[in-house]
Structure 1
């Protein structure tokens, strides 16, 4: 067939009452991304001419989340066929192929969608191609009844199926590719004369066959077409997607010593020869360069880590953290909106926020940048090769010059010149014999109370 255009209709109007949530079901996240966004991202790989999302009444937050896709409201919701009817005005004049997807199937892949379209565009020119799957337990899924010639004869709901039909293991996943030129005519044939009292999209198979048009099936992995209806299924989907993301990362050159303990996001990006120890969590927006070591129990989000850096254990990189080549971020160190330049070391019990730490600088244990005064955030600049002694407080805004030394325990409130030593602490005073006298006095006082 000649090259055809594609439109995508995503059904997302369900209220998701079994989620027990004020949040629309399809906005619940999987790997940190709302499940409907996973569907939109998979569809985007096809470069569709139009994308339409069908939402329910009062779901303004869902409409915002799917932008810039066109949004139509299904009110009241009267079944899947009715939802596609609601999308028809947004498809006016479109005669290419229409993919009908569901916003609660976050594990579908671009490859599945390409196979679905390829089946629709095959020489037999089916009016519709329906995605099937063979689950371990067919349970109450609708069954796909396929004839000897391979054509789909009907889709039968479990409640309406006889014993022979219930014995069929090929089940309906719901995803469809439909000829856009024939779609309006097929939808016009739908009625709500069924036990559900709804317009069911599955009935288009019957109406297509009545017109002499064929329908076909393409089969998918059950995991790919898994729909989410409750929190337990959400957790299953999360585990499945995490497993997929880990496999992809390891196939691309990442070592995970205990992959089942590492939590990834769909946008986590790794270079080669990255090593991730157990119990590392990645939030959104993380990029990791080559030869990076991320040690156990670290949490990273909104951060970039350049080649050869070492992070953790028990480190936290917050949004805006930029770790340069060969830098070391150690245990119980938190970095927020700060550049740690090449070869710098921040190794112990330290908070660096709204700052720059220059190349090869060393930050001693217990150091903090005091970046917030209760009203405004201020910046700390630490020059290359500077040495900040342990337990120092750098009160921003302040600049520590290149090569400067800040003595341990100092509170620094003004700029320190390059190569200077700055001591910002009270003078030590010793009182010989005081400790022994103190103990004697206190012991006598305690004895009197007995």
Structure 2
């Protein structure tokens, strides 16, 4: 939208959060609070977005420095929302069109709602359009004051409202569409004669009405969208509402979520059709799950890619890993960053994999550690196998080629290579390269002492 720019008011101190971290950076389902209104604006293809920042502004700049089309304006002193808008205008001096003003602490606001507000603003040829909501109790929100014809004539802040005005149920969200030229004129006229001694942006409504300009309002269908976040309880409430929205989105897309209130799906997660998610699952970051997958109870996936028909069994933890189609992980398995499981590979219970590639159809079913390794296709790794990758100073790789059979309780002291189709005897400690199709054992020779077992010891103890 070339003729629309946006201001995001994010300069508040957020003192009720009781945090050393900027309120705008507190996360909801994996993303900082400010990213939600910015994403809504991005969906509308609004190219110029000015974020007004205050005392923790540098943190915000650092957190969003890679966002294209976003600039920052400082509000050094907290003089009110009109002053914040004036600071934003310094970044829009050459702009003439519609300015969409939103708050930085409304993470539930939908792009569709902003689009509806913009359409109403254009269709009515208004100079100011206000996004409003009807609530049973307006609380600390400003109230919309209408004339006898139902036209909006002003907004009164709760602290300045009379008892009669406080009974009004239609409240101001703090979200507006304003013609840029009118906004510049109105800001020059706004004073600070009010209960807080601040410059209220809401006063532009009375300025427009009194000069005979068109002012309209739009009631939001879901008042939760305009919920502002001022403390930790409100943050938690908003996150729960957002979580419900995300779960319903994926259920509508063909994903089965059992006991959904016990499942966490973060904002940037993607899930394929016919996937089933059991209770207690957490899907985090930019996790991508293919079609027809199964995610077992209590599993945690962080920035993971799963191909189609992957099975992740209960209580497995996967981080920054790739699992190709038809593979299986778990139960109680751990894929650490850099893990790659090829098609039909299997990592079983109490197996940990780190910076390792497991080839097509290869298996490590029980109680093993595979780190800094390349495992070929069709390899069987027995229970209790360890790649000894760290010598106390550096990490080294183990390479196990196609078709190798590794007996239980084997150790590979890296760097070491095991050739194709080799057989590693159970209990071996392998310190040197093994050629193709060879058998390697390194355990000590078994010695048997007949007649000296437990029965003999018991008898000896009675003498």
Q: TM-score range by the shorter chain?
A: over 0.9
Aligned residue number for residue 28 of structure 1 = 26
Give 1:261-340 correspondences, 5 Å limit.
261-319=262-320, 321-336=321-336, 337-340=338-341
Aligned residue number for residue 424 of structure 2 = 422
8 Å contact kept, 2:22–2:56: no
Aligned residue number for residue 42 of structure 1 = 40
Aligned partner of residue 354 in structure 2, secondary structure: strand
Aligned residue number for residue 13 of structure 2 = 15
Shift of 1:162: 2.5
Aligned residue number for residue 373 of structure 2 = 380
Bigger shift: residues 244-253 or 142-151: 142-151
Provide, for residues 148-199 of structure 1, a one-character-per-residue CA deviation record: whole Å limited to 9, x for no partner: 4442111112232223322211111111110112110011111112121111
8 Å contact kept, 1:10–1:101: yes
Aligned partner of residue 387 in structure 2, secondary structure: strand
Aligned residue number for residue 208 of structure 1 = 208
Q: 1:435 to 1:113 in 2, by over 3 A?
A: same
Aligned residue number for residue 115 of structure 2 = 114
Aligned residues: 432
Query: Separation in 2 of the partners of 1:148 and 1:274?
Result: 55
Query: Separation in 1 of the partners of 2:37 and 2:461?
Result: 73
Aligned residue number for residue 137 of structure 1 = 137
Aligned residue number for residue 198 of structure 2 = 198
Aligned residue number for residue 435 of structure 1 = 454
8 Å contact kept, 2:9–2:104: yes
Shift of 1:47: 1.3
Provide structure 2 residue ranges, at least 5 long, that are not aligned to the other structure.
390-396, 430-442
Aligned residue number for residue 402 of structure 1 = 402
Query: Separation in 2 of the partners of 1:340 and 1:429?
Result: 41
Provide, for residues 244-302 of structure 1, a one-character-per-residue CA deviation record: whole Å limited to 9, x for no partner: 00000100110001111110111100111010000000110100000000011000011
8 Å contact kept, 1:36–1:66: no
Aligned partner of residue 245 in structure 1, secondary structure: helix
Query: Separation in 2 of the partners of 1:87 and 1:441?
Result: 93
Query: Separation in 2 of the partners of 1:309 and 1:281?
Result: 16
Aligned partner of residue 53 in structure 2, secondary structure: strand
Query: Separation in 2 of the partners of 1:57 and 1:132?
Result: 29
Provide, for residues 345-398 of structure 1, a one-character-per-residue CA deviation record: whole Å limited to 9, x for no partner: 1121100110110111111301102x3xxxxxxx30111110000010023411
Q: 1:441 to 1:168 in 2, by over 3 A?
A: farther
Shift of 1:239: 0.3
Provide, for residues 114-155 of structure 1, a one-character-per-residue CA deviation record: whole Å limited to 9, x for no partner: 011112111x31111111112243223211122344421111
Q: 1:55 to 1:420 in 2, by over 3 A?
A: same
Shift of 1:435: 3.4
Query: Separation in 1 of the partners of 2:422 and 2:382?
Result: 13
Shift of 1:443: 8.9
Shift of 1:109: 0.4
8 Å contact kept, 1:259–1:278: yes
Q: 1:176 to 1:435 in 2, by over 3 A?
A: same
8 Å contact kept, 1:53–1:66: no
TM-score by length of 1: 0.92
Aligned partner of residue 85 in structure 1, secondary structure: helix
Aligned residue number for residue 385 of structure 2 = 392
Query: Separation in 2 of the partners of 1:58 and 1:313?
Result: 42
Aligned partner of residue 184 in structure 2, secondary structure: helix
Cα-Cα RMSD? 1.7
Provide structure 1 residue ranges, at least 5 long, that are not aligned to the other structure.
372-378, 445-450
Aligned partner of residue 307 in structure 1, secondary structure: coil
Bigger shift: residues 51-60 or 71-80: 51-60
Aligned residue number for residue 229 of structure 1 = 230
TM-score by length of 2: 0.90
